[in-house]
Structure 1
Amino acid sequence: MAAVGSVDVELELIQWLQAKAGPGVVVRDEVDNQLLGELPTIQVQRLAAGGDDSFRLDRALVDVDVYHSTRAQAIALAGQVRGWLLTDLPGARTDVAVFGRVSTVSPPAMRPYENTALRRVGATYQIYSHPVV
């Protein structure tokens, strides 16, 4: 097996979520000045936390923020993302990663954002993965 942590969880989740969300949604790791014109957007960022467990699985804590034009739309999309992560991601494979257990650390909730023309709902998930062997 490759070294623990050798899977870029952010990149793999971005690609996986983009396939789930479809072409009308932008999925990315960073937001920029074009955000208002690229709604809805899902932002995926690994936190500086987590580690590995006794089975040498990478345990990542990942923040997922949803940006949308209204509170209701942001809440609805964040709920969809949560459903995908909790029910569809465990056992999923990409070309380089296998995903295991997924749990919610902090459920979707409104988060402040300086641009009042959009709304942000964020959640934090614990996601186990390992490289494809």
Structure 2
Amino acid sequence: MADVGSVDVELELIQRGQARFPQAVVRDELDNRLLEELPTIQVQVVGGTDDGIRLDRALVDIDVYHRTRGEAVALAAEVRGWVLRELRGSSTATAVIGRTGTVSAPAIRPYENTALRRVGATYEIYVHPA
């Protein structure tokens, strides 16, 4: 997904999310084993813009899947804090994350399987290569 000197934001967030949320599966795509892999945090870039040189403004959906509504809401709140406080201004060997913000706050999102609950949010993340 990365081009024009940009960062693969999904990969960057998944790797950082795996370290930050070891109790959860952090991934981009869901599979048929979702009920066996709860809680799951799904990270997907859904759009954004760039300056054509180095700076990306990624719009990122982060969905949390958990057994109960309360557990999903609580984990989504933790993820929001991570995005807004911990990721902002952080860097790795591959990426620098500048400003972060909430486009759509965590909210219950419908899901076909009634054996679990889904809470999702959309974030704006400015990132450039390290």
* Normalised TM-score (structure 2): 0.93
Q: Decide whether the 8 Å contact of 2:108 with 2:120 is kept in 1.
A: yes
Q: Cα offset for 1:17?
A: 1.1
Structure 2: segments with no counterpart, 5+ residues: none
In 2, Cα distance between equivalents of 1:110 and 1:53: 33
Match of 1:98 in 2: 96
Aligned residues: 129
In 2, Cα distance between equivalents of 1:14 and 1:57: 19
CA spacing shift, 1:7–1:55, aligned 2, 3 Å: closer
Match of 1:87 in 2: 85
Q: RMSD of the TM alignment (CA)?
A: 1.7
Match of 1:63 in 2: 61
Match of 1:15 in 2: 15
Q: Cα offset for 1:6?
A: 2.2
CA spacing shift, 1:8–1:73, aligned 2, 3 Å: same
Q: Which amino acid aligns with 1:65?
A: D
In 1, Cα distance between equivalents of 2:5 and 2:40: 26
Q: What pairs up with 1:1-133 in 2 under 5 angstroms?
A: 4=4, 6-22=6-22, 24-47=23-46, 49-53=47-51, 56-132=54-130
In 2, Cα distance between equivalents of 1:91 and 1:121: 26
Q: Cα offset for 1:57?
A: 1.5
In 2, Cα distance between equivalents of 1:33 and 1:107: 27
Q: Deviations over 1:39-77 (max 9, x none)?
A: 000000001x21125985100000000000000000000
Structure 1: segments with no counterpart, 5+ residues: none
Give the 3-state SS of the residue equivalent to 1:17 in structure 2: helix
Q: Cα offset for 1:97?
A: 0.6
Q: Decide whether the 8 Å contact of 1:4 with 1:58 is kept in 2.
A: no
* Normalised TM-score (structure 1): 0.91
In 2, Cα distance between equivalents of 1:83 and 1:34: 28
In 2, Cα distance between equivalents of 1:56 and 1:31: 30
Which runs of 4 or more aligned residues in structure 1 lie more than 3 Å from their structure 2 counterparts after TM superposition? Answer: 53-56
